[in-house]
Amino acid sequence: MTLSRAMDLLVYSGLELLGDGVMKLPFLGALRRRWPQARITWLAGKGETVYAHALAPLVAPLLDEIIENAGIGSRAAELRRRPLPGRRFDLVIDTQRRVLTSLILRRLDTRCFVSAAARFLLSDKRPPRGYERPPRLIDQLLDLVAIAGGEPVRPGFGLAVGPPWSEAAALALPPGPVYVGIAPGAGGAHKRWPRERFLALAAAQQRAGRRAVLLLGPDERGWAEELAQALPEALLPLQDRRIAPAVAASPLYTLALAGRLAVAVANDSGTAHLLAAGGAPLVSLFGPSPAAKFAPAARRLELIEAQGFGGSDMALIPLSAVSDALERSLAAA
């Protein structure tokens, strides 16, 4: 089945919180690059999507329509009717694998339906014999684009972030220095490398003539005074008083900052995915979470897992391993 470049394309997901939405950004970019003339509709069938809210300005060039809270994909009773009556699509890509939901979506009026549910049993297009699903979630999504489009795809980086966020990032990190991002936070203490090692890493970068950029999100705001005292020359752009609070609080500001970093070091966190999506080469630290599944799709990725040092405790990762990875990334750049 040949799909035209100018077509109506629908992508189904359940919902997106900020972390989910950031992780999927390379997938959105791949869709638009593969079908630049398509009209792309994003359907959040079971809730809200951050693409209609915090990330809306960023995805505006990638998505033509966003439908959220659609009430599609949850109940067997939905099999008795056609979802989105009156709408017809050339291609529907189902990003989830629950069979009931896929059966419901199969009733959409479409020329081609692509879904990995039940090992692609419900899909009009399927991968070649012997296909093995990759462990990383973003790679699974990129494979759906490749299967639907009939050719391999690669993630893109450095999403274009406009004003006011790009202007704020240029004010906070003006041209000249080599900026090294340090993101010590994470959603839980068990996912955080010891803070004193982040401080030691940042201090070493300062001694090497680079500028340490400490990226502290809302959950780490209480660390700002301590870190500023320990590293008085380091920059804290998310706490920069010259930046309007509404601008600093937006994930688009972190994306804009990422584009000005020579490299960044981060735990398994939403910030890591923002930095990767913004184009920063990344040293990504993992402990209890499976890196094979959740590693960010970065321009250049140095992955360090605690399991390589005898367990899942983040404290097992030595400072030297992170420092060496950071230097390799800088040398490659």
pLDDT at position 3 is 66
**Given a cut of 70, is residue 268 above it in pLDDT?**
yes
pLDDT at position 155 is 80
- Upstream peptide bond of 175 is cis (omega within 30 degrees of 0): no
pLDDT at position 1 is 58
At how many degrees (to 10) do helices 25-34 and 137-149 cross?
A: 10
User: How does the average pLDDT of the chain come out, rounded?
Assistant: 94
CA distance readout (Å), 314 to 122, 257, 265: 41, 26, 14
At how many degrees (to 10) do helices 251-258 and 270-277 cross?
A: 50
pLDDT at position 5 is 65
Instruction: Band the pLDDT of 158: cuts 50, 70, 90.
Output: low
List CB contacts of 139: < 8 A, sequence separation 6 or more: 297
pLDDT at position 222 is 87
Which has the closest alpha carbon to 210: 230, 229, 235, 192?
235
**What homologous superfamily is domain 8-149 in, according to CATH?**
Glycogen Phosphorylase B; (3.40.50.2000)
Q: State the average pLDDT over residues 119-133.
A: 96
Q: Token match 């869709």: residue?
A: 31
Question: Can you tell me the distance from the alpha carbon of 215 to that of 182, in angstroms, rounded to the nearest whole number?
Answer: 6
- Least-confidence region, from 1-10, 105-114, 188-197: 1-10
Cβ proximity of 83 and 103 under 8 Å: no
CATH number (3.40.50.620, 3.40.50.2000, 1.10.490.10, 3.40.710.10) of 165-332 reads: 3.40.50.2000
**Given a cut of 90, is residue 242 above it in pLDDT?**
yes
**Given a cut of 70, is residue 33 above it in pLDDT?**
yes
Instruction: Tell me 218's DSSP state.
Output: G
Q: State the average pLDDT over residues 263-285.
A: 95
**Given a cut of 70, is residue 331 above it in pLDDT?**
yes
Percent of the chain whose pLDDT exceeds 70: 98
**Given a cut of 70, is residue 322 above it in pLDDT?**
yes
Q: State the average pLDDT over residues 276-297.
A: 94
**Which residues of the chain does CATH 3.40.50.2000 include?**
8-149, 165-332
Question: Helix or strand or coil: residue 256?
Answer: helix
Question: Can you tell me the distance from the alpha carbon of 150 to that of 220, in angstroms, rounded to the nearest whole number?
Answer: 44
Percent of the chain whose pLDDT exceeds 90: 91
Cβ proximity of 235 and 212 under 8 Å: yes
pTM of the model: 0.90
Q: State the average pLDDT over residues 54-81.
A: 96
Q: State the average pLDDT over residues 124-128.
A: 96
**Given a cut of 70, is residue 2 above it in pLDDT?**
no
- Least-confidence region, from 63-72, 157-166, 223-232: 157-166
Instruction: Band the pLDDT of 19: cuts 50, 70, 90.
Output: confident
pLDDT at position 160 is 82
Q: State the average pLDDT over residues 304-319.
A: 97
